[in-house]
Chains A and B, each alone.
Chain A
């Protein structure tokens, strides 16, 4: 839908066509129409001209005016005037804020080395492609999230790189501007939805509505999820996998497909490497045994394997659940193998390799300019000496090693932090008590956000107000298209876009990384590979490069232009030479979760329920708790408990219950539902209460309900990617009167 106008007058409103991309969340890039009057946002609607979302819009963007104009919104730079955590702030000028930040980071750099400053990121924001570059200008390579094992997206990305050469996605026509009508596209006969609930979470550049549209056109579903999601309830086969055993499930599927010879022999012969070795490994994991491990009936698991392999085409869409197991990288390895050996790779309606649109890269995790850092700086990237896969895969640090280093100060202390677009303490931080202690040791912390969060309250010395997306210009390169975010309103107070902040601050440290004068210059630089400027993109509107299938036959997947996949052998590496070279297992395997019914039977007696967390609801992670029309839909943190289990424990719907394990205890409100297995519970995450007192010890009441307190850091797989997060043990019991 190129060359549609991007601004017009309508019925007393100015309407600006734009692309939604943080803040506030999420990872996507939906087309929106921003209705404004006198420089103020009045309402938001979905843009029916944008092929990405075709007019559909989530509650969070619909409620955007409330997010922008909420009385708690940060409007000016502020500095801390009391003790950390007291909540005493004073308004300052941008100049004073920048001067202080520059002075304090330079002091830390001189004393301990610039790598003693770490930059904390959140997830999928319109700042992560630049945030690393600010850090590199400061002189530190340490850009990091606080989620153990970088267990969100990164394990998938790393594993796909080691097997297929690049990230892959289910093909739901999203590469085409004319979407489902495109003559080259085919409706998937079968879609496997694995460890993701996209109709609620819309994760990783993928909208749940695309699955729904495929269903309307006849796609059948296999849903692999430990919860009965809406998609699971509509699936032909729902595999209720025991949390933490996705790897065994994947091996079981492969066993059936290989043993029953349901694979595409020609593709295997021509385009895969190591099929025999994979087959030997898989034979050690017979479906019968895998079914027992996963708590799924064998015939059901086998039926799913047959349905997936026999449907043409079949697509698999994978989510975060597979990342949150310590052998998750190898689960993804199996998934890449499944898509390849069944001949579903790079075919219409199968799985396709995801490359940046027109070569425009907005990396989700740091990276822009990382390799311009001197070797002497890069070698300080935390954890890269321990995890070579991390060092070769993603220019981000290991959170598990960082946390240890914060406490041991070995090989160097961590003394400064830059927290941008992440409310890490109640949300991304696994085991937040340890992170809390670590960050309390900082000499200086600066933060950028829309609101004062528990993280800011606890740690920050200087806070900068960030712009929301209608307050800025930007670019979204959302895998399948390029489109512009167009500034539509007057900024609230003195807020600035993350890009403007990073540019203005970056220039003070190292102009080599930030040679540009204005934000638009940076956007033009970003767009260079596409051969257009920001203004040209703005005029063109959402721009789609389209996709050719079977690009491996046409020399379109490798930088050298040769045919094949972008791997050392040019084939899909079922035996990964890359992992082998790094000293890791080149073939998939599965390990039981660190704590569970099999691994720790004694502990399981004491804590007889498996705990999962992280299920998305009406909010985006820890955001939106102060937005009235969203909060009223989900007013309190709830834990899902099977009615049979609740009955045994004397818990009623709506009771507050303690959730306790070997680490800690928290409380949430019981919701009795057969969505979960009787032997597991699913606890809300990311909660804080903007209406409660901010100053310590309250920190907006987040500690009491924070399910990450029950999860260990450091239960990481051999590659450093993936950790046991969605699979720990716990027990529950009713909160007694007087305990709240």
Chain B
């Protein structure tokens, strides 16, 4: 069976939290638990004019890749509403190919 995943371009993830809230609303996830959770890496200074500050949303074990949505041809809630349009849903093999030509990307294949 084809495995699906989420490709995240963290070059442009702005850390807006929409993925987290969209997921919680879609799946009625209570306070304190998350279907996808934002990580903040930084800020720290790398060199005189260079800073590390990235955001990466990480799907948790509650993530079902929105099966109930995708089987109807809709995007997962986090992907649909992403403010920076940096999330992509698809077969991991295809997403991995897209990764090959790009930097600052991460591919998740949730359980």
Contact = CB atoms under 8 A, between A and B. Distances in A.
B82 A56 contact: yes
Contacts of A232: 51
A230 B55 contact: yes
A183 interface: no
B85 A63 contact: no
Given A45-B80, A674-B45, A675-B43, A228 B22 contact: no
A320 interface: no
Contact of A629 (B21, B42, B83): B21
Given A212-B14, A215-B12, A233-B42, A46 B51 contact: no
B84 interface: yes
Contact of B20 (A59, A209, A237): A59
A234 B24 CA distance: 29
A633 B44 contact: no
A632 B14 CA distance: 19
Given A58-B16, A62-B81, A43 B72 contact: no
Interface string A636-675: 0000000000000000000000000000000000000111
Nearest to B52: A233
A622 interface: no
Contact of A674 (B32, B44, B72): B44
B110 interface: no
Interface in A580-615: none
B interface majority secondary structure: mixed
A296 interface: no
B49 to A, nearest CB: 7
B77 interface: yes
Contacts of A199: 14, 16, 83-84
A55 to B, nearest CB: 6
Contact of A54 (B17, B21, B31, B85): B85
A259 interface: no
Interface in A129-188: none
Interface string A254-285: 00000000000000000000000000000000
A228 B43 contact: yes
Contacts of B43: 228, 233, 673-675
Interface centre among B25, B72, B83, B85 (most CB of A within 10 A): B83
A55 B12 contact: no
Nearest to B86: A212
A512 interface: no
Contact of A59 (B21, B45, B80): B21
B15 A629 contact: no
Contacts of B20: 59, 629, 633
Nearest to A48: B80
Contact of B12 (A56, A212, A228): A212
Contacts of B85: 54-56, 209, 212-213
B31 A628 contact: yes
Interface in B53-102: 53, 55, 72, 77, 80-85
B81 A56 contact: yes
A629 B49 contact: no
A542 B18 CA distance: 23
Interface string A374-396: 00000000000000000000000
Nearest to A11: B72
B25 A43 contact: yes
Nearest to A44: B25
Interface in A178-225: 199-200, 208-209, 212-213, 215-216
5 contacts: A43-B26, A216-B12, A230-B55, A238-B51, A633-B21
Interface of A: 11, 43-46, 48, 54-59, 62-63, 65, 199-200, 208-209, 212-213, 215-216, 228, 230, 232-234, 237-238, 618, 628-630, 632-633, 673-675
Interface of B: 12, 14-18, 20-22, 24-26, 31-32, 42-45, 49, 51-53, 55, 72, 77, 80-85
